[in-house]
Amino acid sequence: MIDFSYTVLILLIPLFMFLLIGLTSGKMKPALSGYIGTLAMSVVTLLSYYTAYQYFFNRPAGTEIFEKIVPFHTVWVHFTDTLYVDLGVLLDPISVMMLVVITTVSLMVHIYSIGYMHGEKGYSRFYAFLSLFSFSMLGLVVATNIFQMYMFWELVGVSSYLLISFYYEKPTAVSAGKKAFIVTRFADLGFLIGILILSYISGTFNFVELTDPQGALITQGTSLTFMGISALTWALTLIFMGGAGKSAMFPLHIWLPDAMEGPTPVSALIHAATMVVAGVYLVARLFPIYYFVVPDALTIVAYVGGFTSLFAAVIACTQTDIKRVLAFSTMSQIGYMMLALGVSGYGGEHGLGYMASMFHLFTHAMFKALLFLGAGAIIHAVHTNDMNHMGGLRKYLPITHITFLIATLTISGMPPFSAYFSKDEILVAAFEHDKFLFFIEYAVSGITAFYMFRLYFNVFWGKSTHYHHTPHESPLTMTVPLMILAVASMFTGFIPFNDLVTSNGAAFELHTDWSVAIPSVAIGLVGIAVAWIFYKKQSAIPDKLAVTFKYPYKWSFNKFYIDEVYLFVTKKIIFNRISAPVAWFDRHVVDASMNGISWVTNAISDQIKGLQSGQLQKYGFVFVSGVLILTFAFVYFLFN
C-alpha cells in the first residue's frame, strides 16, 4: 500500500497561502505576493502530479480495479456516535483526475495573472482569493463525505463571489457577483435538503459507504415516499438541483454569463475549467446511487444536460461579447458532460458515458481555460470585449492567434485534438442509450463549430479595424501558459481514460465507432465552412439572415429572455405581490403597534411630568396628604 498521507498538504498549502497573502497584503510588495502564490501553486501542482502518477501507474500488483483510498481523515464535529462530520482526503480515479485538472489550470492562471493583472489595484488581494479558491476547490474534490463536500461547495461559491466582484468599484461587477451568489445559493438550498434526506435514509455522510454497490443504501433503498415519489428520488433530484446551479444548467444558468464581469483569468479558472464542473463531479461522485436506485433522476440529468447544451449553443451564435460567447459555450459543453452521465450505465463498457463525461471534463478544462486566457490576451491588447470592434488581429497577436486556433479546432471536435475523442465517446454513449438526445448533441456539435469559428474569424480575420493603439503581443508570463495549454489541448485526447477513470474502477476496451465519428467530424466541418463563408471576409450574409429570421435572431440575442423571466418572477410576483404586502403589514401593523405603545407612554408621561417639579414642599404636601388619606381610610374601615 502506498502512503498517500502527504496529500493533505495539497489542501493545506493553498489555505496557508491565502492566510499569508491575505494578512500581509498591505505590507508586502504586490509583485512578491504574485510570485510566492505562483510558487506555492507549482508545489501543489507537482504534488498532485506525483499523486496521480502513484495512484494510476504505481498501484499494488495484483489489483484489478482502482480502489477508493482514504489516506487521511479526522472527525471534525462529533454530535453523537452516529452523527458526526469528518474532514479528510478521498482518493479515487475522479478525485485524482480533478486534482490534476484543478492544479494545472490554477497554476496556469497564477502564471498568466502575473502579466494580466500587472499594476492592477488589489493585486495581492487577487492572489489571496485565487489561493482561497484553489483550496476550496481541491477540498471539494477530495471530500470524503457529502457534508465536507457541501462545506467546500459553499466555500467555492464565496470565492467565486469575491472574484466576480473583484472590481468592486464597478456596479455591474458588484451586481454580477450578487447574482451569481444568490442564484447558486438558491440552488444549494436544494442540495442541502437533498443531503439531509439522503443521510436520514442512509444514516451516513460517507461517500465510500453511500456509493458502495453492495452497500445497504443501494441494495435496500427505502420505502419512504413523498407525494407518491420515492424519497431517494427527491433527494437525488434536489442534490442535482445544487449541481445544476453550480454548473449553470438551464434554468439556473443566468448567473454564468454575468460572471464574466470578473477578471478574465478568473473566468478561465472558475467559470470555465473548475468550479462550474463541480455539478458534474457531484453527479459522478454519487453516480452508483443515481444509476442503481433512482434512474428517473438520471433521466432528468440527461435531459437537462441535453437541453442546456442546445439552448446555450443557440444563444452563443448571436452574442458579440467574446467572453459571453465563451460562457455560453461552457454551458453547452457542461451540458454534454451532464448528458453523458445521464445516459451512462455502470461497470465496464456500460459505463462508457461516465468515462466519456470525465474525459470531456478533463479535455474541456484544458481547451476552455486556453480559450479564456486567449480571450484575456485579446482583451489585454485591444481593451474591449466586443468582437464588433475587433478584426484582423492575427497580424498583431501571432502566438495568441495560433493557440486560439488550436483551442477552437479542439472545441469543434476536429481530430486529432483532444475534444474529438471525448466528445465522440459522449456521442457514442448517447447513441446507444437515447437516439433523441444523440441527434440533439449531433446538431450541437455543428452549432458549436459554427459559433466558435464565427468568434475566431471575427477576431482574427474579418474586417481590418483601426485601433487607437497598435495591439501588441502579451508578455511571456501570459503567452507561456497559452502555449502549455495548447499542447495540453492537442495531446490530452490520447490519455487512455478507459483504463484509468471508469465508473467502477475497472478498465474496459474502447472501440472507435466510425459510424458516429465520421458524421460528427463532418457536421463540425460544415459548421466551420458556414462560419468561413459568413465571417472570413466582411460579408453581408449574416446581417441579411438576421433580418430574414428577425424573431429567432432577437430571441437568441436576448438569451431567450430568461433573465427577463427571472426579473418578472422576482420583481413583479415575489417583490410586488408577496414581499410588498408583507412589508406593508410589518410596517403598518407590527411596527405600528409597537410605535403606538411607545407613543401612548410618551403622551402620558408628558401629561404628568409636571408632578416632578423639583419643589420640595409640593412633594411633602403630597406625601402628607397621602398619609392622612390612608390614615383616615384605615381608621374608617377598621372601625366600621
Partner 1 sequence: MLSEIPLSYFLVVSTLMFFIGIYGFLTRKNLITILMAVELILNSVNINFVAFNRYLFPNQLEGHFFSLFIIAVAAAEAAVAIAIIISVYRRYSNIDVERVDTMKY
Binding footprint of partner 1 on the chain (CB under 8 A): 609-610, 612-617, 620-621, 624
Nearer to partner 1, 540 or 608 (CB): 608
Cβ nearer to partner 1, comparing 53 with 621: 621
- According to DSSP, residue 351 is labeled G
Q: Which is nearer to partner 1, 119 or 610 (CB)?
A: 610
Give the shortest CB-122-to-partner 1 separation in angstroms.
Answer: 56
Least Cβ distance, residue 606 to partner 1 (angstroms): 10
In whole angstroms, the minimum distance from the beta carbon of 620 to partner 1 comes to 5
We find the least distance from the C-beta atom of residue 612 to partner 1, in angstroms, to be: 5
Q: From the CB of 572, what's the least distance to partner 1, in Å?
A: 53
Closest to partner 1 by CB, 220 vs 612, is: 612
Long-range contacts of 62-71 (CB under 8 A, 24+ apart): 64/506, 65/504, 65/505, 65/506, 66/92, 66/93, 66/500, 66/505, 67/92, 67/505, 68/92, 68/207, 68/208, 69/4, 70/144, 70/208, 71/3, 71/4, 71/5, 71/7, 71/8
Q: How far is the CB of 632 from partner 1 (least distance, A)?
A: 15
CB-nearer residue toward partner 1: 388 or 605: 605
- CB of residue 597 vs partner 1: minimum separation in angstroms? 21
What is the C-alpha separation between 229 and 223, in angstroms, rounded? 10
Question: Which CB, 189 or 624, lies closer to partner 1?
Answer: 624
For residue 86, give the DSSP letter: E
By beta-carbon proximity to partner 1, the closer residue of 581 and 620 is 620
Three cell numbers written together for 601: 407612554
State the Cα–Cα distance between residues 636 and 640, nearest whole angstrom. 6
- Based on CB atoms, which residue is closest to partner 1, 74 or 615? 615
Buried/exposed 92-104: b ≥16 CB within 10 Å, e otherwise: bbbbbbbbbbbbb
Q: What are phi and psi of 77, to 5 degrees?
A: -120, 130
Q: What span, in angstroms and rounded, lies between the C-alpha atoms of 299 and 62?
A: 37
Q: How far is the CB of 625 from partner 1 (least distance, A)?
A: 10
Please report how close the Cβ of residue 594 comes to partner 1 at its closest, in angstroms: 25
User: How far is residue 149 from each of residues 192, 439, 459, 465, 570, measured CA to CA in Å?
Assistant: 11, 35, 40, 48, 30
Q: Are 477 and 399 in contact (CB under 8 A)?
A: no
Please, which residue, 26 or 610, has the CB nearer to partner 1? 610
Q: Which residues pair with 88 in a beta bridge?
A: 73
Q: What is the distance between the alpha carbons of residues 140 and 278, in angstroms, rounded to a whole number?
A: 8
**CB nearer partner 1, residue 558 or residue 601:** 601
Q: How many degrees, rounded to 5, is the angle at CA 90 between CA 202 and CA 265?
A: 115
Beta bridge partners of 75: 86
- Give the H/E segment covering residue 123: helix 123-141
Tell the smallest beta-carbon distance from residue 635 to partner 1 (Å). 15
Which is nearer to partner 1, 598 or 617 (by Cβ)? Answer: 617
CB-side neighbour CA atoms (13 Å) of 201:
26
Least Å distance between CB 614 and partner 1?
3
Number of C-beta neighbours around residue 193 at 10 A: 16
